[in-house]
Amino acid sequence: MKPTRVLKIDPQHIATVLIHEAADVLRAGGLVAFPTETVYGLGANALDAQAVRGIFAAKERPGYDPLIVHLAGAESLAEVACRVPPVALMLAERFWPGPLTLVLPRGPRIPPEVTAGGETVAVRVPAHPVAQALIRAAGVPVAAPSANRFGRLSPTRAEDVLADLDGRIDLLLDGGPTPVGVESTVLSLVTPRPTILRPGGVSRESLELLLGRVEVLAQPVRPQEVAPSPGTLSQHYAPRAKLILYEGPRDALLAALRKEALRLHGAGARVGLFLASEDLPFFEGLPLIMRAAGPARDLETVARQLFTTLRALDEAGVEVILARDFGAAGLGLAVRDRLTRAAGGKVVRVT
């Protein structure tokens, strides 16, 4: 296949010719990768079953994992969902455009390819100006998973998209790095109580301010089991290196991490550490490869840098990554979720 065409686009000064070109590709049934505020998405016309099958082929994504439908605004909800409960409108009012995905009863125009044959549809309105402009210009709902190969780290930069999908998709809009860095929060409104199926860019706490208690789906379901949200499979968002996550009070956690890192190093392994900035001095002078995602109290930075930091460790050629946890408050829950999945469930709890 020929290399993917890349169009550089400045999110602050959007060149409408480029947007129209990309919108034409979508309307013609092609695949366009584009920046959202969370991660890059791989878009196709959500009403075109053939085009949607192209997404699954390009990503090598199994057909049982449904896609999120992206709209330019909440006024288009009725086109994709057959019933929009008042709570959905309330959430849309507060959080859209933004990193919140709502699971609603599927509307009749959405082909089964999008929903993996299910009777629900996941919908969101992205806040990124390039995503907004593209969806408006296309004039159709846009189905878009993250623009990576299935199971790999999500892409937060155009180069990450190309590393996985060059030659497999028609067009890539390069709008620079994505500001949030973790995917949207997926919230089901078809369960008895609103339930977070995947923690993400909108925190549980901010949802609870509006909704009262919100359930969080218990952590990774094993592959093969029927998952309520198939993206909750463990062994997802994975770097090439094997990853082990450490949870617990900071001092004990760092001591355990250091001990294990030195043991593995002694056994001949190339060991990488995924840390907070303030942890770095604790490991100074040791023969370990260290990367910090940001200060532990600045979870927005940590979330933004999460995937690029894991990629940097992969690029440094480490075989094992020992990662520290960042707690469950705010964006910490999404960071923990991604690290737990990258670890395939291998979590060490120190006390």
Residue whose structure tokens are 């082929």: 57
Nearest position to Mg ion, beta carbon: 146
Name which position in 58, 103, 138, 292 contacts ligand TXA (CB under 6 A).
103
101 touches ligand TXA (CB under 6 A): yes
Q: Contacts with ligand TXA in 15-44 (CB under 6 A)?
A: 36, 38-39, 41
Burial 53-77 (b: 16+ CB within 10 A, else e): ebbbebbebeeebbbbbbbbebebb
Of 162 and 322, nearer to ligand TXA (C-beta) is: 162
36 touches Mg ion (CB under 5 A): no
Q: Which of 157, 216, 245, 132 is nearest to 165 (CA)?
A: 157
Name which position in 184, 195, 301, 309 contacts ligand TXA (CB under 6 A).
184
Looking at residue 53, the DSSP 8-state letter turns out to be: H
Q: Contacts with Mg ion in 138-167 (CB under 5 A)?
A: 146
Cβ at position 69, least distance to Mg ion in Å:
15
Q: Which of 244, 101, 280, 285 is nearest to 180 (CA)?
A: 101
115 touches ligand TXA (CB under 6 A): yes
Cβ at position 322, least distance to ligand TXA in Å:
26
Pair of tokens at residue 338: 């991604």
Cβ at position 234, least distance to Mg ion in Å:
14
Annotate each residue in 134-153 with x if it binds ligand TXA (CB under 6 A) or - if it does not, as one string: ----------xxx-------
Contacts of residue 190, Cβ cutoff 8 Å, sequence gap at least 6: 103, 104, 105, 120
Q: Contacts with ligand TXA in 294-323 (CB under 6 A)?
A: none
Rounded distance, CA 189 to CA 207, Å?
Answer: 12
340 touches ligand TXA (CB under 6 A): no
Contacts of residue 24, Cβ cutoff 8 Å, sequence gap at least 6: none
Q: Which of 196, 191, 176 is nearest to 334 (CA)?
A: 196
Of 65 and 166, nearer to ligand TXA (C-beta) is: 65
Of 237 and 246, nearer to Mg ion (C-beta) is: 237
Contacts of residue 191, Cβ cutoff 8 Å, sequence gap at least 6: 215
Which segments of 168-232 are extended strands (E)?
171-174, 185-188, 195-198, 215-216
Pair of tokens at residue 130: 């390039």
173 touches ligand TXA (CB under 6 A): no
* Span from 114-122, 251-259, 275-283, 331-339 in contact with ligand TXA (CB under 6 A): 114-122
Cβ at position 25, least distance to ligand TXA in Å:
17
Cβ at position 57, least distance to Mg ion in Å:
16
Q: Which of 332, 277, 339 is nearest to 307 (CA)?
A: 339
Of 230 and 239, nearer to ligand TXA (C-beta) is: 230
Cβ at position 320, least distance to ligand TXA in Å:
26
Contacts of residue 88, Cβ cutoff 8 Å, sequence gap at least 6: 77, 81, 102, 104, 189
Query: Which residues of this chain interact with Mg ion, rule CB under 5 A?
Result: 146
Query: Which residues of this chain interact with ligand TXA, rule CB under 6 A?
Result: 36, 38-39, 41, 65-68, 99, 101, 103, 115, 118, 120-122, 126, 144-146, 183-184, 186, 197-198, 229-231
